Amino acid sequence: MQGWHITAPERIEDRNIEESFDVTTETKVMVTKALVTLNDALHFAKGEPQNVPGSYGIGLVSEPGQNLFDLKQGTRVYISPMVACGKCFNCNNNEPGKCSDLRIAGENFNVFLRNFVTTESSNLYYLPESVSDNDALFIEHISLSLSVIDKLDIQKGDHIVVIGANNFGNIFCQLLIYYQAVPILIDTDEENLQCAKNCGVYYTLGKDDNWVKEVSSITGGRMAKSVVYISDGDISPKNAFQLAGYNAHVAFTGLSGKNNSFSYTAAARKQLILHFVNTGYGYISSSINLIANRACNLTKLQIEECSYADVPEMFGKMAEKLSRGEKIYDTIVKVSQ
């Protein structure tokens, strides 16, 4: 098997990958498309982890093995980017969704910028014809959104401030609207906000708006019942506490693993309830159904596309943008036909 392998800071090579294949429990999948995100760009810039990047992937079953899921050769599948460890207390008590050592694609194991992947059949999800290849690459965005919505127990009519209007923030707001909540989307990037408007998000606040005043006006002075801070951007986390009402819920989430520091003094003063959500594990099937039912518009997201051969050039440009503090676009890589 061949795949792009991060070997050093800002260096990536196409290498042979030695990997075992257990026909009794595993299935081999030919990867057709992968999604490269900010998370991959950060790993590339740092030179860690030294493995195959590509956060999310889809493909066609190549060798079904002896699986229990009726996966036939040629079946189009989504490959789970999260794998429970199977060893911790929760896993041993049939609660893999609460795994304390969840393995994450691109961080703990090789993933999708390669021609073949072998994985347990339980990590593969059938994709119906109504779900396009490109849409399927955003399943984890929807899964994480659903996890946050459940964690915050968001109800019809709730005003939810969302800080960060990247593709994930856009999708999250669309799902809030689908469940009849009222998102208020905040970002300093006008392109992000315009994209969200094009997808049907009504309340958007930009860098020139007085966020506290506007949120107060929209909520009738109550401020937000819940605030979702997306860590992928550059807006200070302190804004999440300013925009939350007394005893409100604040969730910190995101897909990049980007670190942000903050003081919790303001949170303590308002007696806010803080949540940290970093996985959509357990929501993949629901996400596929939502895409099939057109619960959100994924056709207008901000994405770029790239061929397998052009991966080094793509990562080089991402590294340059990171050094200049510029925005990184999610990029779909066509791995194989």
- 84 contact partners, CB below 8 Å, separation of at least 6: 91, 96, 97, 99, 102, 103, 281
Rg of the chain taking only CA atoms, in angstroms: 20
Domains for the chain: give ranges and CATH numbers.
Answer: 2-138+301-334 (3.90.180.10), 140-276 (3.40.50.720)
Whole-number Å distance between alpha carbons of 5 and 64: 26
Q: Are 121 and 67 in contact (CB under 8 A)?
A: yes
By the 8 A CB rule, do 328 and 302 touch? Answer: no
Among the listed residues 171, 168, 173, 175, the one whose alpha carbon sits nearest the alpha carbon of residue 202 = 173
Q: How many helices (H) and strands (E) does the chain have?
A: 11, 17
For the residues 255-269, what does the mean pLDDT come to?
Answer: 80
**What's the confidence (pLDDT) of residue 303?**
95
| pLDDT at position 337 | 66
pLDDT at 106: 65
Beta carbons of 208 and 193 less than 8 angstroms apart:
no
Residue pair 255/233 in contact by the 8 Å Cβ criterion: no
CA distances from 231 to 6, 115, 163, 204 (A): 24, 31, 9, 18
**Maximum distance among all Cα pairs of the chain, rounded to whole angstroms:** 61
Q: Kindly report, residue by residue over 277-334, the tens digit of the pLDDT.
A: 988 988 999 999 999 999 999 999 999 999 999 999 999 999 999 999 899 999 999 9
pTM: 0.93
pLDDT-based confidence at residue 68 (cuts at 50, 70, 90): low
Strands 56-63 and 82-83: unpaired
H helical segments located in 65-157:
89-92, 133-136, 139-152
Indicate the pLDDT class of residue 55, thresholds 50, 70 and 90: confident
How many residues appear in the chain? 337
